[in-house]
Structure 1
Amino acid sequence: MRDLTVTFHRFHADGERVVVEATMAATLANADHYSDDYCFVVEIRDGLVHRVRGHSPRVPSDLLRSPPGKTSIRP
């Protein structure tokens, strides 16, 4: 994977929880373009990050290693 970019869209804070909406994009090992939306829930305790939970699509590990044109991401 290369050319990874993260674009942050929204932050929602309520007490010690922050929800982050973002889009990540990259060029995969097989040269295909990948882009998808993600949601992270960040828990804060005593002013420090206590836990981060990410909700995202799963990319099969073999997709990241596939030669060009052999694999594609399907919804």
Structure 2
Amino acid sequence: ALQVMTIQEAGLLFFMIPHMNTRAFVLCSNPYEMDIEKIVLWNREQLAEECGLSLVQVKRLTASLKKKQV
């Protein structure tokens, strides 16, 4: 999968890893929360804010990653 990704896509993906809750497999503010009801989910706006990208960039990169099935 890394061969088909751009450096920007890889950067976003690697930024998201520490924010993944491995119990629910979602991006969130509290990735170590075990109670699914207490997980604070992120949307693309929050992802953009946290990683310092514009919303347009995040939408483009996430759409591209989804299209590439990454």
TM range, smaller chain:
under 0.3
Q: Counting helix residues as a fraction of each chain, which structure ranks higher? A: 2
Q: TM-score, normalised by structure 2?
A: 0.23
**Structure with greater Cα Rg:** 1
Q: Counting strand residues as a fraction of each chain, which structure ranks higher? A: 1
